Amino acid sequence: MTHTAVPISFWIAFGNKLVPFRLFLAGIVFSILPDADVIAFKLGIPYESEWGHRGFSHSILFGFSLSILACVLTGWFRARIEIVLLYLFVSILSHGVLDAMTNGGLGVGFLIPYSSERFFFELRPIRVSPIGIKNFLTERGIAVLKSEWSAVWIPLLSVSASLFLLRNLIRRVIGASRGGDKN
Ligand SMILES: [Zn+2]
């Protein structure tokens, strides 16, 4: 669920006007969508395969193609097309970026199908999550939540809340100066 921190933070930072609620919801879906690939385990596809977990569905090409495709819904999102593309692409790509900052599993296949190399970043402060809700209620699950909170949620929410406050402050200052002009 920590993957949703990115679209949530961007929504808080940029506001409902630039990122309307429908686009925000799509961003949430895009940020978790790549993990639909866990179905690969059920289908017997090995983790390290290009079609396996953290494979093609986590790649830049997949994220970009899906974001372009979603632009057909621009009218429904009630947003500008470049905002739809950018917001959804950042939401879906951030999924792989966060996965590449975890301390377990295999790396992320950002460049599939051009290269099957799996990537991790140097900095990997996020503990890899156990799969399944039941496993979250263990000591390990709590340690994971703590690491996600301190490495992802706190920094992102701090920045987005600051931008939110700054945006409101600027709007008030502009509003006040316009009001002043009238008087
Ligand atoms: Zn993932």
Each residue of 96-152: pLDDT tens digit? 999 999 998 899 999 999 999 999 999 999 988 776 666 667 888 888 889 999 999
Q: How far is the CA of 95 from the centre of ligand 1 (A)?
A: 6
CA 56 / ligand 1 centre spacing (Å): 11
Q: Which amino acid is at 27?
A: G
Cα distances from 127 to residues 58, 70, 149, in angstroms, run 18, 32, 11
Region 12-34: mean pLDDT is 96
pLDDT in tens, 150-165: 999 999 999 999 999 9
Ligand 1 is a single-atom ion; what residues have CB below 5 A from it?
A: 35, 99
Token pair for 165:
């406050």
Nearest partner of 75 among 153, 154, 20, judged by Cα: 20
Statement: residue 69 has pLDDT above 70? yes
**Between helices 81-99 and 60-70, what is the axis angle to 10°?**
150
Rounded to an integer, what distance in angstroms lies between the CA atom of residue 11 and that of residue 167?
12
Can you give the pLDDT at residue 163? 95
Put simply, whether the predicted model's pTM sits higher than 0.85 gets the answer yes
Provide the greatest CA pair distance for the chain: 73
> Which pLDDT score, from 0 to 100, does residue 62 have?
98
In 33-153, which residue ranges form alpha helices assigned H by DSSP?
39-42, 60-70, 74-77, 81-99, 139-148
Is the torsion defined by CA of 4, 7, 12, 15 positive or negative? negative
